Structure 1
């Protein structure tokens, strides 16, 4: 077939021959097959024995990426071969799928950190736990430990159905529309690890939630089921498809359907099948489902889903109610059973094995032992009797886990950054910690909601485009003409409403970052009208005030 007729590599249109290296790797051997090789071969024969197609491709289907070799500066990211960036250790991602964790599960996660990951552990904004410094020789033992408490790294990464988001308070929150846990569990049990969906055009991110706060950020997932109540008073889900950020951000589109709880697994299978069969496989940067639905529109996507995959029509349904101003579940709040939950903020999601063990101890001492992770890199202790809440908050504070954090601690997020990530250009975690510490000193009384999200590269793992202040890492030129670490600044992003505004030429070096953020926050505080949000102020402010 002539090159100009290859289209976008869509399987449903007959284009099955791989059009790039990634597609060729997946066709040559299903990525799920690498799990057996890791256990039976690579863990015994060591790092140097790993086939490059497995190392930099199929390993991702089991939550494993080689981490960045220490000492390689951001100027070399993307300009030297990947094998020169590779360290001999791995980042490992454990999929939690938005589930509440027992004390036993949390202790296993803690023990893995201590024994195998040099005491590292990060809570991601997709409710995963992420380790560093993992040696290939230790992977089978880690998998055995995870499996013993019902956890896995399978399809935590790769062109696969990655970990689901669910409200950490599912089944617990006083104001939830419905508990989405049964639907999430059913999809996971049916389809995770199935070769039916182990070769997608790109990653596929799922959220299923009945949370009235909309904590699973349905606007930016590939597929989201959002709890609603229809005109007949029945609870079910509204369906959103095609959200995503990175270098070409798009908000998900409502299909306008009402999905009954028992239909969720069929509809999820239908949507991911449309993506698998019609998704664009020719160019990696256009392979997410957001590009397909952007081209097709919601009406055509719904039509194809119903006619070709479901075999029945879904009824029209209502949109969800607006989200609450604070979606993060931080603080002390009542559960529907009369107990309380206590949400707290680590520093940009960074914890470690020792802290996780301490949290497990505290959850058992003051609650039922159950905890949960949030989509904002935060954590919650569940089922706490009211009389125990303040004692628990005090104990958490001793570990620098704040139940009543400043706005800067509460609403900051950071991706992994150059410390471990091969895609990163700049440092993120420590720099965000330093920034929040300094802002707390300089602006001690500032208490308006304000999100500050920092990313080490353009991929937006930390959602820079939907933050009030989004900081996208890049190399910039300082006043002396030297190329240094810095950030492009996005201002006034709002989930589902607008992406952050890029003011012409607005960048800052890392050295000047804190001064810039302090300056723009002070201007907002001085100029804002009563009740005016930062994003609203950005929309009307003079450009000079944003610089």
Structure 2
């Protein structure tokens, strides 16, 4: 008899005929579109309370409207992943306010502040995707929160879930003197046409987009699922290069350029084609392989472009140039001139943590010193726009009076942290307070250090805070201290650069949370002693002895 041939298992790709759900998440999505949960929240759950919520909605479809259950207080990181969801779930929610392009006005910011103080115990965090997250939200209050947000043009729709998430954009779109193109119209058109559409409300996994003409590349296009980056072609026309397949988490990959030139009026249809490929060809069998980056890795950019053009666009896109290299800082902190002669003032909270009262203060200052326009950045920072030159110093002083630094130290400016164990069910260690304490201590110990140095702190392996592309990336885990006790700590990644290289892991290089400041001080001093003129931390890491990295 001929030997049996082992058939390769299907990946759950709809385009190849695999429509039967291959896991629980896919089954739940097939049973009911996540967008339909809104009606049940308004009509049933907000009235009957937490105990009335269907588990498939609670741990699945709620995400389509920006709602995650919080971690129950008192559960240590050693139990993350070991306890069933019912034991990890608190009866309160994190709610994510979607802010496409990071664009806000004072009225919108005050609305978020009021919601924070009224319904979320004053909490608020600026995320590294330009959103604002609130905590301690009760299901009974969600309809009132939605009503308040929607009255000022904001929403939580598709802020989470297997959907097209917030479209990040340069906070200075239409404002920066050196921008290649103002991407505001393209972001608005994609949002208006496709966000909240059942056509794209059942994707294999999350889908992160960026559209920007910023010369600093502040939207970190290299790690988005899809990104459109402003370029100028040989004919002098302004448009976009398209990138696909970027992402971090446990399998980090940089996005690949499709080598095309996309005219501004074509962005929405190309975006639609790319997300449609993901919907139809994306891998749905295994959740950990369901991001578009795995499809792009298997196909390559050339095949992806061919499928896009032949099956989805129906026409060939012209070849296009690659964008220029990014500027050294991507965060827009400081005082800088706008196109119209006014100035923008970017400032740094501590690791993105603010509160309802502080958001009200920022709204007041934006109106007093500018036009009321405010922006969030993809680095957990904020920017006040339209400030006359003669008023910039007074605004910087006013912000500093509330510990919002326009001229921050390196450590304040370049330290990011994810939500951490305080609220997140996936986290293993605490991050936000640890990050704030680290900044304060390093500012005391290394007051004269002025070289660019990013420190990104993550509470688990999922890399929400981009640990693999930081100079010093810290991945939360339990480690053994000098007494043989399991305690909170971090695996250390060194020398990561967005779009260039992922951080280096030195064998066995870990630190306890308590010993983190001592470690960072030690390695930064080594770098400062040994660096050559103009040498970055990432370049130094590549040539440094392992002993100097410990």
TM-score bracket, normalised by the shorter chain, equals over 0.9
Structure 2 match to 1:120: 123
Partners of 1:476 and 1:286 in 2: CA distance: 28
Q: How many aligned positions are there?
A: 546
Q: Does 1:487 align with 2:493?
A: no
* C-alpha RMSD of matched pairs (Å): 0.9
Structure 1 match to 2:21: 18
SS at match of 1:441: helix
- Counterpart selection for 1:72 from 75, 85, 110: 75
- Counterpart selection for 1:279 from 245, 263, 282: 282
Q: Does 1:170 align with 2:173?
A: yes
CA offsets 1:488-528 (integer angstroms, 9 cap, x no match): 00000000000000000000001111000000000000000
Partners of 1:453 and 1:4 in 2: CA distance: 43
CA offsets 1:393-428 (integer angstroms, 9 cap, x no match): 000001100000000000000000000000000000
SS at match of 2:207: coil
Shift of residue 443, structure 1, vs aligned partner: 0.2
Structure 1 match to 2:297: 294
Partners of 1:337 and 1:407 in 2: CA distance: 29
CA offsets 1:310-329 (integer angstroms, 9 cap, x no match): 00000000000000001110
Q: Does 1:98 align with 2:101?
A: yes
SS at match of 1:342: strand
Shift of residue 6, structure 1, vs aligned partner: 4.4
Structure 1 match to 2:65: 62
Contact 2:102 2:377 in 1 (8 A): no
- Counterpart selection for 1:542 from 523, 532, 545: 545
Q: Does 1:325 align with 2:328?
A: yes
Shift of residue 3, structure 1, vs aligned partner: 10
Partners of 1:260 and 1:26 in 2: CA distance: 35
Shift of residue 102, structure 1, vs aligned partner: 1.0
- Counterpart selection for 2:410 from 407, 411, 417: 407
Structure 2 match to 1:246: 249
Cα separation, partners in 2 of 1:480 and 1:300, compared to 1, 3 Å: same
Partners of 1:345 and 1:183 in 2: CA distance: 28
Shift of residue 4, structure 1, vs aligned partner: 4.9
- Counterpart selection for 1:436 from 408, 414, 439: 439
Shift of residue 100, structure 1, vs aligned partner: 2.2
| Equivalences for residues 25-44 of structure 1 within 5 A | 25-44=28-47
| Equivalences for residues 189-208 of structure 1 within 5 A | 189-208=192-211
Partners of 2:11 and 2:319 in 1: CA distance: 31
Q: Does 1:375 align with 2:372?
A: no
CA offsets 1:179-201 (integer angstroms, 9 cap, x no match): 00100100100000000000000
Q: Does 1:335 align with 2:330?
A: no
Structure 2 match to 1:154: 157
SS at match of 2:345: strand
Q: Does 1:397 align with 2:389?
A: no
Partners of 1:3 and 1:333 in 2: CA distance: 62
Structure 1 match to 2:148: 145
- Counterpart selection for 1:511 from 509, 514, 519: 514
Shift of residue 480, structure 1, vs aligned partner: 1.2
Shift of residue 5, structure 1, vs aligned partner: 5.4
Shift of residue 539, structure 1, vs aligned partner: 0.5
Contact 1:90 1:132 in 2 (8 A): yes
Give unmatched runs, 5+ long, in structure 1.
none
Q: TM-score, normalised by structure 1?
A: 0.99
Structure 1 match to 2:319: 316
Structure 2 match to 1:384: 387
Structure 2 match to 1:345: 348
Contact 1:6 1:15 in 2 (8 A): no
CA offsets 1:295-346 (integer angstroms, 9 cap, x no match): 0000000000000000000000000000000111000000010000000000
Shift of residue 72, structure 1, vs aligned partner: 0.1
Give unmatched runs, 5+ long, in structure 2.
none
Deviation larger for 532-541 or 91-100: 91-100
CA offsets 1:350-389 (integer angstroms, 9 cap, x no match): 0011000000000100000110000000000000000110
Structure 2 match to 1:424: 427
SS at match of 1:164: strand
Stretches (4+) displaced over 6 A: none
Contact 2:128 2:379 in 1 (8 A): yes
Contact 2:102 2:131 in 1 (8 A): no
Partners of 2:229 and 2:77 in 1: CA distance: 39
Shift of residue 99, structure 1, vs aligned partner: 3.9
Contact 2:420 2:430 in 1 (8 A): yes
CA offsets 1:154-181 (integer angstroms, 9 cap, x no match): 0000000000100000000000001001
